Structure formats: C-alpha cells, structure tokens
Amino acid sequence: MKQLILLIYFFISISGFSCKETTVQNQVSVVTPTEANKVLQDKAIQIIDVRTPSEFAEGHIKNAKNIDFMASPSFTTNINTLDKEKPILVYCRSGKRSNESVKILLNAGFTKIYDLEGGILNWKTKSLPIVID
C-alpha cells in the first residue's frame, strides 16, 4: 500500500513539472524573421531591441524601443515599465542577449514573448526593413 501511494505521488509530481514546462514553452516562441514580420502586424506588440544604444542607432526594427541588456540593473527597471499582458518581440544582434533577456522577461511576469531567431543580423539577411536614426 505504501509503495502504491509513493508511486502515485511520483507520477503526480512528474505531471506537475511537465505542466509548468509546457506553460513556459507557450509563453516563449523563437521566431524566424519572416514569422516575426507577421507578428509585427499586431498593433499591440511591444518591440524591444536589447543591444547597446550605438548598435541601435546603426539600424533597428521600426517602432522598437532600445533597452540595453548590458545596462543592468536598469534593464530590469526599464522592462518593468512595459505592459506584461501585451505580447513582446525581443531581439539583439545575433540572438544571445535576447535569449538571456527572455529569462528576465519570464521572471518579470510577461505572458507572451517572441524571440527573434538570429537577431537583427538574420533580419537583415532576409532584406526586411530597418530604421536608421
């Protein structure tokens, strides 16, 4: 009887962890530039470029807000000014900083995050539009 109870507890525990992982996967989508361009049709989307200000000035996606990932702890402070219920597209130069940013966004409570695969470099290879300030 004791073994049966332990076995049931074990399966319930495993299924609980699986549900949590599924929820995180549903909150984050790594998208190609083409997919990201379609996502940008949603007027509610927030676009965050996590590169440095000088990188941002060299060219960025239209309507993107520059929140420098390397400028901790102000990065966390700045993302907390955004609407956590609205979808967010995050990108950097090649994908490393945006990947790290996604972890912080999840911890901050954002509900739908799109991470641009390959960053702005990949975006440019698809000849998608950029804005230069």
On whether residue 18 sits in a domain, the answer given is no
| pLDDT tens-place string over residues 50-97 | 999 999 999 999 999 999 999 978 999 999 999 999 999 999 999 999
On whether residue 35 sits in a domain, the answer given is yes
User: How many angstroms from the chain centroid is the CA of residue 59?
Assistant: 20
What's the pLDDT score for residue 3? 56
What's the pLDDT score for residue 24? 54
| Residue 31 backbone dihedrals phi, psi, to 5 degrees | -120, 145
Q: Could you tell me where the DSSP H helices lie in the chain?
A: 2-27, 33-39, 53-57, 74-79, 96-108, 119-125
- Highest mean pLDDT: which of 24-38, 63-77, 114-128? 114-128
On whether residue 130 sits in a domain, the answer given is no
Higher pLDDT, 16 or 116: 116
| Bond before 33 cis per omega within 30 degrees | no
On whether residue 1 sits in a domain, the answer given is no
On whether residue 9 sits in a domain, the answer given is no
Residue 21's pLDDT band (cuts 50, 70, 90):
very low
102: Cβ–Cβ under 8 A, 6 or more apart, which residues?
Answer: 28, 90, 113, 115
On whether residue 17 sits in a domain, the answer given is no
Residues with catalytic annotation? 92
pTM of the model: 0.80
How far is Cα 93 from Cα 50, in angstroms, rounded to an integer?
8
pLDDT at 36 over 90: yes
What's the pLDDT score for residue 96? 97
Per-residue pLDDT, averaged over 12-31, amounts to: 59
pLDDT at 30 over 60: yes
On whether residue 6 sits in a domain, the answer given is no
On whether residue 117 sits in a domain, the answer given is yes
User: How many angstroms from the chain centroid is the CA of residue 122?
Assistant: 16
| Domains identified in the chain, total number | 1
Domain membership of residue 50 as a residue range: 25-125
Query: CATH code at 61?
Result: 3.40.250.10
